[in-house]
Amino acid sequence: MTPERWQQVKEIFHSALRQEPKERSAFLADACGGDESLRKEVESLVSSHEKDGSFIDSPAYEAASELLTEHQEELKPGQAFGSFEILSLLGEGGMGQVYLAEDHRLGRKVALKFLPPSLGSDPDRLRRFEREARAASALNHPNILTIYEIGDADGRQFIATEYVEGAVSTYLL
């Protein structure tokens, strides 16, 4: 998805939320102008918003705040994870843990964000996690992390992003 397309989806999404639920279908038909792909994307976001709250408007950790107390197995420095070597834990929140790691294939430091194991078996949360990665990877801006990879290794879902020195909140815990 191009940044321009994402902006269009986002604008229609926010406008649709301002409509009464019974008026949304007619609004979307008009706003999307026959573009079924656009309409389906916006309808998917509206549905997700109504079910879980908006992933666009709030950090992922707010949508999963009930998981803040869940214990998550911590990876240890020096531990191998696929082609990555764990260097340290950067932080954790409701949507997972973020580690500083070395990517041995490309010889660079990365941030690895892991979905908690309990969410990895939830299809809705897994789609949300993947949608977060797709949305961020569709954008190109100095203030947005570059997504290098999304994957599943050792039974754990992860997103590998560029590592940026600074606040851990950068990684949307």
- The domains located in the chain, with CATH, are 3-57 (no CATH), 65-171 (3.30.200.20)
Which residues, given as ranges, of the chain have pLDDT below 70? 1, 51-73, 94-95, 118, 167-173
Tokens of 35: 């573009």
pTM of the model: 0.55
Say if residues 115 and 126 touch (Cβ distance below 8 Å).
Answer: yes
Radius of gyration in angstroms for the set of CA atoms belonging to the chain, rounded to a whole number: 18
Phi, psi of 144 (to 5 degrees): -120, 130
The predicted pLDDT at position 52 comes to 53
Query: For 68-84, how does the pLDDT look when each residue is reduced to its tens digit (9 = 90+)?
Result: 434 456 788 999 888 89
